[in-house]
């Protein structure tokens, strides 16, 4: 790991001395790197003992010629007079060109085979399937809970899109509270240091608050959200009202939470493009990390290094609000156990998130059937749900050649937004499914952790992520949020009701970009929002 970090630092120093015509300190990484430097550094990185695959700091899948092509095509543009080549296809060859309607996030990747399309549809059926409590005559569908957030994956990931905070009587099924505390003993501290755990659950209520339960059992409690309005007056006199949430729990079933337990609200994120994100080379994410801010640009992105759930090896976390999950399959298994209470080979917990203190929960029946295997969702279920999640297509860009969108794109770059929201990547060549291989994609994320300041802090550490750090969320598809989900709630807890509010909540490493947006004149702010709406 030390050799990896040394390599990254050398690589950053070389790029900071890149081609003068390409240099712009706001543009972050890939500002211009010569082919000779690429080849030399790649050879240096490949020398010596092999690194864990999930932490590789070089692209061993590419020839020097291909690597030079990748560096060139992913370098941030400086021409905002017209769209870039391939820019409409923000999900590569798998981009969906179907209508920008309420089903825009539910289309399959355009470049999968006819046979794979059938697999995708089977996975979709399982993603929408409602699980039932045990015992039941529908033995292939029972095992729900006993505590749960929803009966089906789709009920949280609404239309495969973004969730929403509780509004009136709408419930909380697409936003929940993570429960966690820091280490309190030497043994727990050692487990954290060895990356055996990410944090520690509440001793009674587990890793998340579950409001729903099967018949005969109480839910754990109810999330309570109270908003305080905060007026922000921009330099041009424009007033924006931000709502600051505070969270608590009512009607707890088994006594109070541990006094050290923190509450972190988590909105379900969109599902599009996950398979492409999974196939970004680790080197291309790790290479953008600068935890010590050695270039003094105020941006200190860092990776969340976690353990692979199957191999136990350290690897790069890239999914979840805190980049705590390394793979789509692991994320699906965690959701089955934590959100629905369904056991899988990866997480064989028949009683989901029930703890030893919740004896009534552990006394309930489970849905494991010996003839179907030792878990409630056997490997074929996981295979299909994982394939479905890997192949939800990114929709094509819209209006990207309009003057206000192009002007907004330039402002997005000039304000420094791409220091975290990295526009482009090229995926690995040797992918398990060739549909994701060597694709130019435009997620607008570096998939690293950034300190976003006290305003967005939840106080909950997750692995290497502190209580004020969040993974940069991808922006592709963000302009279709209202079309697909009927709302415009943004950020990890949906506090922002517009894109303008979301930007104004940026603090910490995002403060400078936020302030440039706030001090821009109204037409420029509107143009930047138009650009985001085109994604």
Tokens of 420: 């975290």
User: If we measure between CA atoms, which residue out of 304, 332, 307 comes closest to residue 318?
Assistant: 304
Q: Could you read off the pLDDT of 273-306 as tens digits, one per residue?
A: 999 999 999 999 999 999 999 999 999 999 999 9
The average pLDDT across 127-155 equals: 93
What predicted TM-score, i.e. pTM, was given to this entire model? 0.90
Residue 163, domain member (yes or no): yes
Residue 4, domain member (yes or no): no
φ/ψ (deg, to 5) at 129: -65, 135
Residue 171 confidence (pLDDT) = 57
Residue 24 confidence (pLDDT) = 36
User: If we measure between CA atoms, which residue out of 150, 148, 145 comes closest to residue 134?
Assistant: 145
Question: 123 lies in which domain range?
Answer: 64-534
The average pLDDT across 490-500 equals: 98
Residue 48, domain member (yes or no): no
Q: What share of the chain is helix, strand, coil (3-state, %, to 5)?
A: 35, 15, 55
Percent of the residues in the chain that have a pLDDT greater than 90, as a whole number:
84
- Residues, the chain, total? 535
In this structure, of 275-284, 313-322, 334-343, 366-375, the range with the lowest mean pLDDT score is 366-375
Residue 59, domain member (yes or no): no
Angle between helix 114-128 and 379-390 (nearest 10): 110
Answer yes or no: is pLDDT of 46 > 70.
no
Rounded CA separation 19/385 (Å): 45
Q: Could you read off the pLDDT of 70-94 as tens digits, one per residue?
A: 999 999 999 999 999 999 999 999 9
Answer yes or no: is pLDDT of 11 > 60.
no
Residue 18, domain member (yes or no): no
Rounded CA separation 361/279 (Å): 39
User: How many H helices and E strands in the chain?
Assistant: 16, 12
**Residue the block writes with tokens 């002007």:** 407
CB atoms within 10 A of CB 505: 22
Residue 167 confidence (pLDDT) = 78
Residue 288 confidence (pLDDT) = 96
**Residue the block writes with tokens 């807890």:** 493
Residue 45, domain member (yes or no): no
Q: Could you read off the pLDDT of 84-125 as tens digits, one per residue?
A: 999 999 999 999 999 899 999 999 999 999 999 999 999 999
307 contacts 196 by C-beta, under 8 angstroms: yes
Report the domain count for the chain.
1
The average pLDDT across 476-482 equals: 98
Residue 412, domain member (yes or no): yes
The average pLDDT across 305-332 equals: 96
The average pLDDT across 396-403 equals: 97
φ/ψ (deg, to 5) at 213: -150, 160
Residue 271, domain member (yes or no): yes
Pairing mode, strands 262-267 and 175-180: antiparallel
The average pLDDT across 405-413 equals: 98
Residue 29 confidence (pLDDT) = 35
284 contacts 478 by C-beta, under 8 angstroms: no
């Amino acid at each position: 790991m030390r050799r990896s970090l040394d390599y990254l630092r050398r690589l950053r120093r070389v790029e900071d001395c890149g081609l003068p015509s390409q240099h712009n300190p706001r543009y972050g990484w890939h500002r211009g790197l010569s082919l000779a430097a690429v080849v030399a550094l790649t050879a240096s990185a490949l020398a010596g003992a092999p690194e864990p695959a999930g932490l590789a700091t070089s692209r061993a899948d590419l020839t020097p010629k291909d690597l030079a092509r990748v560096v060139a095509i992913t370098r941030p543009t400086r021409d905002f007079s017209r769209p870039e080549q391939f820019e409409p296809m923000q999900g590569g060859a798998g981009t969906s060109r179907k209508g920008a309607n309420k089903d825009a996030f539910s289309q399959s990747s355009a470049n999968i085979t006819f046979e794979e399309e059938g697999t995708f549809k089977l996975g979709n059926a399982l993603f929408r399937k409602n699980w039932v409590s045990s015992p039941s005559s529908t033995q292939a569908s029972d095992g729900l809970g006993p505590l749960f957030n929803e009966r089906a994956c789709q009920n949280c990931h609404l239309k495969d899109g973004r969730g929403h905070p509780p509004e009136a009587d709408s419930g909380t099924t697409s936003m929940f509270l993570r429960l966690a505390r820091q280490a309190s003993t030497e043994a727990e501290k050692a487990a954290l240091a060895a990356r055996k755990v990410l944090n520690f659950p509440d001793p009674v209520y587990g890793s998340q608050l579950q409001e729903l339960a099967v018949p005969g059992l109480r839910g754990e409690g109810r999330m309570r959200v109270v908003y305080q309005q905060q007026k922000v007056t921009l330099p041009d006199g424009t007033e924006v009202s931000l709502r600051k949430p505070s969270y608590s729990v009512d009607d707890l079933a088994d006594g109070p939470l541990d006094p050290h337990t923190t509450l972190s609200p988590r909105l379900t994120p969109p599902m599009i493009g996950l398979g492409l994100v999974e196939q970004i080379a680790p080197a291309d994410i790790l290479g953008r990390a600068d935890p010590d801010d050695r270039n003094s640009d105020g941006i200190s992105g860092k990776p969340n290094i976690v353990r692979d759930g199957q191999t136990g090896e350290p690897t790069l976390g890239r999914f979840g609000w805190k980049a705590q999950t390394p793979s789509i399959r692991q994320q699906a298994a965690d959701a089955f156990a934590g959100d629905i209470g369904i056991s899988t080979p990866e997480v064989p917990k028949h009683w989901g998130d029930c703890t030893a203190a919740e004896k009534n929960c552990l006394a309930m029946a489970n849905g494991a059937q010996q003839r179907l295997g030792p878990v409630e969702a056997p490997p074929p279920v996981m295979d299909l749900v994982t394939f479905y999640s890997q192949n939800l297509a990114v929709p094509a860009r819209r209006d990207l050649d309009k003057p206000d969108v192009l002007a907004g794109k330039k402002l997005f770059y000039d304000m420094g937004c791409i220091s975290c929201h990295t526009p482009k990547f090229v995926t690995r060549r040797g992918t398990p499914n060739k549909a994701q291989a060597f694709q130019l994609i435009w997620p607008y994320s570096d998939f690293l952790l950034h300190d976003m300041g006290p305003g967005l802090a939840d106080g909950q550490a997750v692995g290497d992520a502190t209580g004020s750090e969040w993974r940069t969320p991808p922006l592709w598809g963000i302009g279709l949020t209202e079309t697909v989900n009927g709302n415009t709630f943004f950020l990890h807890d949906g506090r922002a009701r517009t894109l303008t509010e979301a930007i104004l909540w940026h603090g910490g490493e995002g403060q400078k970009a936020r302030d440039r947006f706030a001090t821009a004149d109204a037409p420029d702010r509107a143009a930047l929002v138009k650009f985001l709406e085109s994604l």
